[in-house]
Amino acid sequence: MNKQHYTYRTDKPSTVFYISSILVAIFVLWGAISPGSLSNVANKALGWMITNFGWFYMLITAFFVLFVIFLAISPYGKLRLGKPDDRPEYSWFSWIGMLFAAGIGVGFVFWGVAEPVLYYLEPPVGYTPETRESAIAGLRYGSYHWALHPWAIFSIVGLTLAYVQYRKGKPALISSAFYPILGDRINGWAGKTIDILAVLATSTGVATTFGLSAMQITGGLSHLTDIPNNVWTQIVIIAIVTFLFIFSAAKGVNKGIKRLSNINLGVAGLFFLFVLIVGPTLFIAESFVTTLGGYISNVIPMSLTLTPFSESEWLGTNTIFFWAWHISWAPFMGLFIARISRGRTIREFMGGVLIVPSLLALIWFSTFGGTALNLEMYGPGGIAELVTGKVELALFATLAELPLSTITSILAVLLILIFFITSADSASYVLGAMTSRGSLNPSMGVKLVWGLLIAGTASVLLLSGGGGLTALQTASIITALPFAFIMLVMIISILITFNQDHQSVQAKKRKRQLKSMKKEFKEEFYDDMKDDVYDEVKEEVYDDVKEEVYDEIKEEVKEELIEEFDLNEQSNTNDTKNKE
């Protein structure tokens, strides 16, 4: 693993902190003083939004899925969330565990039984209630609401923020993603407005999760003991969890959230295996295969289908509700995913954030929803009555029909409790970073303020009664609308950045290739020239040596001939004298 470390300055709370916390406090006071007024206004706004922007939510979420798939298979997929030599900080297991436990796990546990059974009773348009077809549709739509689409939403924000932080050195703020478009104006009110909207969407979405978790824990405790299932028990649960999360937050991401996430992933795995083994295993396996096939073959029609020729409100109260809720969660999940994803490539990031949780959703809903449907359709029944009344008891009613129900119910309460703590810890960390000028180490005081503020929000709205939590849930959906437009501009901005960096990488690659080619050509040319020069020198030397040797031999021959001639002359002279 790369040993390089990054040092981030812990900043004081920013203007975004003061403005957003005041707005959240005003919203809480409104809900506490006049819950009926809040609920009335929120419901009217929700109805207006679904009527006028339902098509927009369906289209935009489908576009998000296509966009992240395009990123994964495109040349941009090789870009790394960090410097070129950065490597992942966390193991694959820890990374997936933190993704699952950061808050979405609460949704899996809460809706894993309830949603398929709800859709079995009240199916989408075109299905007859309480039939085999509506049961299959219930499993498919339950998985559909928690598989590719929500994780595509989360991955866009997470990918963008991780890239601008670790590759570009920008602070951990939603506004940082807009630098290619806004430039230095992200440091002014344009950037602050974006960050405030992100904080409001995050705080309202997370407070809804707090309420759901408290309701389900209270439901489980009332199922196991004589503890009453009422709002005061829920308030006590929120107070206890808030106290526990402070210890986790004090440990930081590495020790707090990481350890709890690993524990939770192990507990969830045991819980899942138990239900799979002792439950209707064959039915679950067949349900999974059917759900997977139905999801793959129907994901496009489900993504792009509205009901303009009917008066059905099913899509508005279900699919569109979930899409908007997930968008309101996107800043929270995105910032947290970015925090734990440094060093991974875009392709690896998409594989982990998009594919693995989607498969987990299909498996989880097929197992728990399939077991509940089996009990409802072929067993003692009674699950449907709870879902339509006290939905938080649906999981425990299902477990009650299986062996060791007391132990598994305790395990379920423990699972939800740890999910609750990790959600609170993650939420306080993310909101602290968003309101501390993007510091990746927000002060404990800032995290504590946000933890208490969100816990107070959920508590006050639970106390307010008359649909207070429903009003908050509705508010989170309404808050998602402006953030959906922010995400569209964010996509344009990050594409500009990716294209610039990809071109830069390609230019550097071409430069390295050209340099390598020059080096190879130089070496080859050198070798060829060396051979040619050698041959030329050899020939010149040969000619010189040949000429020199020729001259030497010529001189030697000449000298020999002269000597021989002189000897012959001398001999002839001697012969003449002798004759005389």
How do residues 127-163 score in pLDDT, each as one tens digit?
999 999 999 999 999 999 999 999 999 999 999 988 9
- Is 346 within 8 Å of 499 (Cβ atoms)? no
Query: How much is the CA Rg of the chain, to the nearest whole Å?
Result: 37
User: Can you give the pLDDT at residue 1?
Assistant: 38
Task: Please give the Cα distance from 551 to 449 (Å, whole number).
Answer: 106
Output the six-digit token pair for 78.
Answer: 């090789």
Which range, 208-217, 356-365, 431-440, is most confident? 356-365
How confident is the model at residue 67, as a pLDDT? Answer: 94
Residue 112 has pLDDT above 80, yes or no: yes
Residue 183's SS3 state is helix
Quick check: 101 and 264 in contact, CB under 8 A?
yes
pLDDT reported for residue 171: 85
pLDDT for residue 8: 42
Percent of residues, the chain, with pLDDT higher than 90: 18
Calpha distance 452→441 (Å, rounded): 19
pLDDT band at 487 (very low <50, low <70, confident <90, very high): very high
Give pLDDT tens digits for 217-230: 888 888 788 888 78
pLDDT at 5 over 90: no
- Cα–Cα–Cα angle for 74, 78, 84, rounded to 5 degrees: 155
CB 425 within 8 A of CB 260: yes
Whose tokens are 């199916």? That residue is: 123
Q: If pLDDT is split at 50, 70 and 90, which confidence band does 575 have?
A: low
pLDDT the model gives residue 252: 52
Flag whether pLDDT at 432 surpasses 90. no
H helices, E strands: number in the chain: 21, 0
Distance set, CA 434 to CA 191, 437, 477 (Å)? 12, 6, 20
Predicted pLDDT at 2: 41
| Distance in angstroms (rounded) separating the CA atoms of residues 138 and 371 | 13
DSSP category for residue 128? -
Per-residue pLDDT reduced to its tens digit, 438-475? 777 788 888 888 888 888 777 776 776 554 456 656 76
SS3 for 172? coil
- Predicted confidence at residue 10, as pLDDT, reads 46
**539 three-class SS:** helix
Q: How far apart are CA 413 and CA 417, in angstroms?
A: 6
- pLDDT for res 366: 94
Task: Render pLDDT for 336-362 as a digit per residue (tens, 0 to 9).
Answer: 788 888 889 999 898 888 888 888 889
Weakest-pLDDT range from 56-60, 239-243, 562-566: 562-566
Under the phi-then-psi rule, with left for phi > 0, alpha for psi from -120 to 50, and beta for the rest, what region is 187?
A: alpha
* Contact in structure between 289 and 491 (CB atoms under 8 Å): no
pLDDT-derived band of residue 297, with 50, 70 and 90 as boundaries? very high
pLDDT of residue 293: 94
pTM score: 0.80
Q: Of 463, 431, 476, whose CA–CA distance to 449 is shortest? A: 431
**Could you tell me the pLDDT band of residue 580, with boundaries at 50, 70 and 90?**
low
* pLDDT of amino acid 144: 94
CA distances from 5 to 32, 88, 350, 563 (A): 46, 12, 24, 94
pLDDT of residue 537: 67
pLDDT given for residue 167 in this prediction: 87
The DSSP letter of residue 367 is: I
